[in-house]
Structure 1
């Protein structure tokens, strides 16, 4: 959902030499690019956001395609990228040749999908098996047009602090931690129950703030804020209400540290024992490492990554590369998008930004499953292997046009009320429903 995947701001490490070697022979894009049938000098514009890990690939592509110059623009957050795209889309001008789209606002794009190039015209059907199937489904409109090539996905595991667990007499070995939460049968009820025990033992919070937990809980449901048919699914949603009750009780029990999202006191909360667990989609791992190091911490701070997640498989975030029909070079833009989403390219992106590949071949590449600066930070956890297992069983949830509005502007204020103690669960829910009526149409 929108900003969730958007502040992946702190990068991990440069691509390993093995990836560079792999890149030398990568991608069928060369067969479809301008260099195959023209020496015309062209410039391709690319708009991305956050830290997608693609930056180092542009120079490589230009070297292999001397007639092409890439002019990239990176927008700091997905929310700002959405505003940028909507403004230019409404104006009918200013859009790039390659536009990155975040999962949380893909539904808005799908409402005007005919203003994006059907990538089947440039070989999408021939390569669609490279991605996990649900990623392709997400990028396919109601008329069967494939308008985006998938970059990353966000399977979720659980980050935890070994030192804080040890102080509370909880297991610290990641396999034992997975068992503690129930392994494949892990539930949110057990997560909050263990958190209450931890709080009673230590007097400290269990997680950083309730917003990320809520986001994970919602993403995990077969249907979230919208039903698969596109209708709103909030007010009478028994699953949402049940999870809200758990969240509200957790806040009332002192399990939330009431941190400011994306700030964590400049990273200090990751090293001062403010909280012991953290919900971690793939891209979020860099947002543990980066702030921790910015605050003076390192691997010895104690963070680890376990192959378990309450409630089972869940996906949070992920992006696509699209080609607006306003592009004067759609063939070359499609070839560039194909190259940037090839297996070797997404291995590079994973090593640069922790973006877990949506391409199946890349998920088992040594550059993803092997050692990196990220794995070293997380106590040598086999991060790539864990994420591949966490991705198993994920099903794409339909995201409606105001999904991010509901997450941030409808439930966001009520979540802050829970964490600050300004409202109980029912009051906070009622306040959210009032905002839903004000901010979201056709409810």
Structure 2
């Protein structure tokens, strides 16, 4: 799920606490195989952000009285990845099941020796259960099955109905969708919103728009399929950049840094009206905006139509002493039942075909988002989603090269041409 540093749940303090907790776990239990008590076997699941596994973990424990499931979560993918890398290099400390986001998956697939080949437990037989391209993404070049698919991104635009009303814009989701069938329309709507006197900014940050456009404009981003860095020559990247610069030029964003404390507070304080919203983002909005904002948010179509932003896999590190049991837990969490449960709890869009075809999933509405028919909104186009190729250092290039460059322009610290050059220079360093 996504969270370019796609998923953030609470504050940076919480993230630091989670990092420290994982570090302590590594020091206290070399292989994470300490008994849970009463003869129970403990299985640790490491994720970033919110995967929607709380209720599922309890359900699994009820069906397997001999197993205790411990969920450990680091909020930011940017914090999670180096900690997982450290654990794998040390040979201890990682969970029995670990989440691998698509932005970092390609890099970890070059180290298949660190993971159990799930084919040995029959994982390959599950291929028919998932979107075909999604299942294939979980394989290393040697055919080893690194991970089972969790979610795919899907895209929408989450917006505050009350702020749209104050800005004298339509509030009905169908009418809002008509406001921005193109990205030029979206920018124009932002200008109309600014003129409406709502007291809030239109868009949270132009980096969220940049991510959405990368998910939509082409099937490659910073790398070609031979893993050559093409950020400087890929027209899809340049097109997303130019639209982003236009948004900055028109002044339609709140200029906050995504995933920051200020960004989190912006949801609660209604300081912006719009954010780009893959399905998993709903859980983040609910957590940050709080119960008082129930019914104030809604979901409209994304400009330009469609796009796949985010998605993850569950893998079993070689260092786990309970690989078979860990696989069975991962299999449960990524089953149709598991993915529907995660969707209902936190919003990650299923990649399991059985879940996507399930009548209860299709009928799902979200009261927090004005009873938006989220099963229809996100599920209808899920089978038509196409993968965007992520190279080995995709997430590093995005998080530490392009997003900081965009923010430097948005915050008035650099001009667009200067920032573009800075982004390309930083991308080359990150890609080494």
TM-score higher than 0.5 = yes
The runs of 5 or more residues in structure 2 that have no matched partner are: 12-38
Hey, what does 2:20 align to over in structure 1? none
Indicate which of 330, 338, 346 corresponds to 1:345.
338
1:85 is matched with 84
Number of the residue aligned with 1:18: none
Partner residue of 1:245? 242
Q: How far did residue 261 of structure 1 move?
A: 1.7
Matches of 1:289 and 1:66, distance apart in 2? 32
Q: Please tell me whether the aligned partners of residues 50 and 283 of structure 2 are also in contact (alpha carbons under 8 angstroms).
A: no
Q: How far 1:193 sits from its partner (Å)?
A: 2.6
> Which aligned pairs between 1:5-404 and structure 2 lie closer than 5 A?
5-8=6-9, 42-182=41-181, 187-202=182-197, 205-220=201-216, 221-263=218-260, 265=262, 269-270=266-267, 274-293=271-290, 297-299=292-294, 302-306=296-300, 308-365=301-358, 367-370=360-363, 375-404=366-395
Return the alpha-carbon distance in structure 2 between the equivalents of residues 94 and 268 of structure 1: 33
CA RMSD of aligned residues (A): 2.5
**Distance in 2 between residues matched to 1:249 and 1:180, nearest whole Å:** 18
Contact 2:204 2:263 (8 Å CA) reproduced: no
CA contact (8 A) 2:229 2:431 kept: no
- C-alpha contact 2:155 2:276 (8 A) present in aligned 1: yes
Compute the displacement of 1:110 (Å): 0.5
Q: Which has the higher contact order (CA 8 A, sep 6+)?
A: 1
Q: CA deviation at 1:235?
A: 1.1
How many residues in Structure 1 have an aligned counterpart in Structure 2? 402
Q: In 1, distance between residues paired with 2:171 and 2:123?
A: 45
CA distance in 1 between partners of 2:265 and 2:320 (Å): 45
- Between the aligned partners of 1:73 and 1:147, the Cα distance in structure 2 is 20
SS of aligned partner of 2:256 = coil
Counterpart CA distance in 2 for 1:399 and 1:424 is 28
Secondary structure (helix, strand or coil) at the match of 1:320 reads: strand
Q: CA deviation at 1:149?
A: 0.9
Compared CA separation, residues 92 and 314, structure 1 to 2 (3 A) = same
Using a 3 Å threshold, how does the CA distance of structure 1 residues 239 and 127 change in structure 2: closer, same or farther? closer
Q: TM-score, length-normalised on structure 1?
A: 0.83
Report if aligned partners of 1:4, 1:316 keep a CA contact under 8 Å in 2: no
Give yes or no for contact 2:43–2:96 (8 Å, CA) kept in 1. Answer: yes
Stretches of structure 1 lacking an aligned partner (at least 5 in a row):
11-39
Partner Cα separation in structure 2 for residue 146 and residue 312 of structure 1:
32
Q: Residues 290-328 of structure 1: CA distance to partner in whole angstroms, max 9, x if unpaired?
A: 22227xx3235x32111x212322122222111122333
CA distance in 1, matches of 2:264, 2:110: 39
> SS state of the match for residue 117, structure 1?
coil
